[in-house]
Amino acid sequence: MQEAAISFQNVSKTYRGGAVRALDGVSFDIQPGEFFGLLGPNGAGKTTLISILAGLARASGGRVLVQGHDVVDDYAAARKALGIVPQELVFDPFFSVRESLRIQSGYFGVRNNEAWIDELLENLGLADKANANMRQLSGGMKRRVLVAQALVHRPPVIVLDEPTAGVDVELRQTLWQFIARLNREGHAVLLTTHYLEEAEALCSRIAMLKLGRVVALDRTSQLLSGKASTMLRFKTDAILPAELQSHARVTGRIAQITAHDATEVESILAKLRAAQVPVEDLEIGRADLEDVFLEIMQGAKQ
Amino acid sequence: MSGAIKLEGARTLFYKEVLRFWKVSFQTVGAPVLTAVLYLLVFGHTLENHVKVYGTVGYTAFLIPGLVMMSVLQNAFANASSSLIQSKITGNLVFLLVTPLSHWAWFAAYVGAAIVRGLAVGAGVAVVTFWFSPPGLDNLLWVLVFAVLGSGLMGALGLIAGLWAEKFDQMAAFQNFIIMPMTFLSGVFYSVQSLPPVWLAVSHANPFFYMIDGFRHGFFGVSDVSPWISLGVVGVAFVAVSGIALELLRRGYKIRH
């Protein structure tokens, strides 16, 4: 069997002598060439897991392999295979875009990398900023440079930690086109994001983390069909009955309630009628990843 | 990973560290040269006609090698420590943390760049101050050995301080309460032989004294202690401080959590 691109094996992380448990026995594999999504609410442990993968933090238990290389015992080979786009918008104010990329390339032992650097600049819309100092760039442009820096040594495994947080539509498009191309060319991608529609569109498999544990791990299509597959959406000014309120998603006047099948849809409608809730613009549709996510997160709470 | 790739990584980090201070050389080289010249003007002018050292050496001539070496040491320390703390605070140290570079590569690059900065500032101070009063040269080899070894020691110490400090004020405290007193009490401005016995003993326990004294020996051929003793003390201190710095880097002290 081919070696997994990334293998998390029973990874745990505790802080303050065990008082805080950020990760609790996380295990899953990401296959070569796979586009994998890691989802979870804030504080679920996504960034801690990625920090352990990248060598920025040490696991309290378990181990992580990148293409079979342990990230602690064989860190040089593991890190050479990884390209990490960090979540924080960081930059070195002493250098220009091109200098930053040349330096990052050199750290990985790659010399004479100008052709690939030019391609990265071109594909990420940075060509005209190549000689600008990092300080002069806007936030979105700095984010692009972070992506380019992560890819400069052509890593087979790409890790993007919330790369589109606070990023405009144009960059999202550019970024996803480019990352999708690299994925087609065989790079494995691990993505954490808060934008569930992005995960749904891009990732073939998804893991959901909550309070440091994996609460769901499946193909995206399975997740969408397996759990609550139907979604009721309507507008109302009234307050929902308590039994519906608890698992409804309410945004202003719009209420959304998930259901598993037609019988459950009927029962929800009956409850609304019984409570005399006036309903406008009722739609019944397919549940999206956001509905699945909320259902799983609520389930994991109980 | 092959040796050539490892070497390229370390070479790149060294190059980046040198480029970093060179891009702002007005502050990192120009400013310390000016400070040293001010010391020379004030102390040299005040004391030239009152003090003779080793019986024959004029005060200004005596002062110059000490000022050169003090600048070398302080700037070597500043280069490694300020680069690390800035990268830690701004967060761009992550670019380095995700690379395959070993703790040996980090050490070689940061200490190597600290030596280059120390020597660049030392050369600048020398060029300007020698013009006032050339101190003569007895043995260039001693001068170079102590300049390189001393700046290497201070670069390693700067690395430790940069790893330890979490805030700029902690770094300033390290500099003001440890580095400054040790450089001032090392015999830059006087021969320690002129001190009362207690302070003489204190000076002899200060490794900075041996760096300055050995360096000065290269110019005058005379010094407070034998340059071989100085070489021994500075060499042992370099090995000890480097050992600590390497171990902290290997463990990822305060940089890998």
Residue of B nearest to A76 (CA): B100
Asked if residue A44 is part of any domain, the answer here is yes
Q: Do B98 and A76 touch (CB under 8 A)?
A: no
Asked if residue A299 is part of any domain, the answer here is no
Tell me the residue length of chain A. 302
CB contacts < 8 Å between A and B, how many?
A: 86
Distance between CA atoms of residues B41 and B57, nearest Å: 17
Asked if residue A297 is part of any domain, the answer here is no
pLDDT at B167 over 50: yes
Residue of A nearest to B16 (CA): A103
pLDDT at A290 over 80: no
**Exposed/middle/buried for residue B253 (C-beta within 10 Å: 0-12, 13-18, 19+):** middle
Strands, DSSP E only, in chain B? 52-53, 57-58
Asked if residue A296 is part of any domain, the answer here is no
Q: Do A54 and B97 touch (CB under 8 A)?
A: yes
Answer with the one of A224, A244, A276 that is the final residue of a domain. A224
pLDDT of residue A228: 58
Asked if residue A298 is part of any domain, the answer here is no
Distance between CA atoms of residues B109 and B103, nearest Å: 10
Asked if residue A260 and residue A182 are part of one domain, the reply reads no
Asked if residue A162 and residue A50 are part of one domain, the reply reads yes
Asked if residue A183 and residue A121 are part of one domain, the reply reads yes
Q: pLDDT of A143-152, one tens digit each?
A: 999 999 999 9
Q: Do B12 and A91 touch (CB under 8 A)?
A: no
pLDDT of residue A1: 56
Evaluate whether A80 touches A89 at the Cβ level (below 8 Å): no
Q: Do B87 and A92 touch (CB under 8 A)?
A: yes
Distance between CA atoms of residues B213 and A161, nearest Å: 54
**Exposed/middle/buried for residue B15 (C-beta within 10 Å: 0-12, 13-18, 19+):** middle
Asked if residue A294 is part of any domain, the answer here is no
Asked if residue A55 and residue A178 are part of one domain, the reply reads yes
Asked if residue A193 and residue A137 are part of one domain, the reply reads yes
Strands, DSSP E only, in B56-106? 57-58
Asked if residue A160 and residue A109 are part of one domain, the reply reads yes
Q: Is residue A77 less than 8 Å (CB to CB) from chain B?
A: yes
Asked if residue A277 and residue A153 are part of one domain, the reply reads no
Q: What CATH number corresponds to the domain at position A16?
A: 3.40.50.300
User: What's the mean pLDDT when you consider all of chain B?
Assistant: 91
Degrees to nearest 5, angle at CA A153 with A147 and A158: 50
pLDDT at B140 over 80: yes
Asked if residue A43 is part of any domain, the answer here is yes
Mutate to test the interface with A, among B23, B98, B103, B250 (most CBs of A within 10 A): B98
Answer with the one of A224, A248, A278 that is the final residue of a domain. A224
| Residue A302 pLDDT class (50, 70, 90 cuts) | very low
Residues 6+ apart with CB under 8 A from A264: A230
Q: pLDDT of B83-98, one tens digit each?
A: 999 999 999 999 999 9
* A94 interaction partners in chain B (CB closer than 8 Å): 19-20, 23-24
Degrees to nearest 5, angle at CA A112 with A110 and A118: 100
Asked if residue A154 is part of any domain, the answer here is yes
Distance between CA atoms of residues A201 and B191, nearest Å: 76
* A70 interaction partners in chain B (CB closer than 8 Å): none
Distance between CA atoms of residues B250 and B103, nearest Å: 5
Torsion of CA B108, B113, B114, B118, to 10 degrees: 140
Asked if residue A197 and residue A75 are part of one domain, the reply reads yes
Asked if residue A203 and residue A189 are part of one domain, the reply reads yes
Asked if residue A191 and residue A249 are part of one domain, the reply reads no
* B19 interaction partners in chain A (CB closer than 8 Å): 94-95, 99
Mutate to test the interface with A, among B14, B83, B88, B95 (most CBs of A within 10 A): B95
Q: Do A57 and B256 touch (CB under 8 A)?
A: yes
Query: What's the domain range around A151?
Result: 6-224
Q: Which of A79, A90, A99 sits opposite B94 (nearest CB)?
A: A90
Q: pLDDT of A215-250, one tens digit each?
A: 888 888 777 776 656 788 888 888 888 888 877 888
CA distance A272 to chain B (A): 52
* B13 interaction partners in chain A (CB closer than 8 Å): 106-107
Number of structural domains (chain A) is 2
Q: Do B23 and A94 touch (CB under 8 A)?
A: yes
Evaluate whether A292 touches A223 at the Cβ level (below 8 Å): yes
CA distance A106 to chain B (A): 5
Asked if residue A245 and residue A197 are part of one domain, the reply reads no
Evaluate whether B115 touches B148 at the Cβ level (below 8 Å): yes
Which amino acid is present at A31?
Q
Q: pLDDT of B120-130, one tens digit each?
A: 999 999 999 88
Evaluate whether A140 touches A89 at the Cβ level (below 8 Å): no
Which stretches within A6-83 are classed as H helix? 46-54, 75-80
Q: Is residue B103 less than 8 Å (CB to CB) from chain A?
A: no
Q: Which two tokens stand for residue A23?
A: 């990760």
Q: Rounded to 5 degrees, what are φ and ψ at A177?
A: -60, -45
Which amino acid is present at A8?
F
pLDDT of residue A242: 83
CA distance A133 to chain B (A): 12
Q: What is the CA radius of gyration of chain B?
A: 19
pLDDT of residue B40: 85
Q: Which of A84, A107, A110 sits opposite B13 (nearest CB)?
A: A107
CA distance A8 to chain B (A): 18
Evaluate whether A10 touches A26 at the Cβ level (below 8 Å): yes
Q: pLDDT of A107-134, one tens digit each?
A: 999 988 999 999 999 999 899 999 999 9
- Whether the CA torsion B184, B188, B193, B195 is positive or negative: it is negative
Q: Do B98 and A55 touch (CB under 8 A)?
A: yes
CA distance B257 to chain A (A): 4
Asked if residue A247 and residue A160 are part of one domain, the reply reads no
Which stretches within A127-168 are classed as H helix? 139-151
Distance between CA atoms of residues A78 and A58, nearest Å: 14
Q: Which of B1, B90, B99 sits opposite A107 (nearest CB)?
A: B99
Q: pLDDT of A21-38, one tens digit each?
A: 899 999 999 999 999 999
Q: Do B98 and A75 touch (CB under 8 A)?
A: no
Q: Which of B1, B9, B252 sits opposite A107 (nearest CB)?
A: B9
ipTM for the predicted complex comes to 0.89
Q: Is residue B89 less than 8 Å (CB to CB) from chain A?
A: no
Torsion of CA B148, B151, B153, B157, to 10 degrees: -160
Q: Is residue A75 less than 8 Å (CB to CB) from chain B?
A: yes
Q: Is residue A80 less than 8 Å (CB to CB) from chain B?
A: yes
Q: pLDDT of B29-72, one tens digit each?
A: 989 999 988 988 888 777 777 777 777 788 888 888 999 999 99
Q: Do B256 and A56 touch (CB under 8 A)?
A: yes
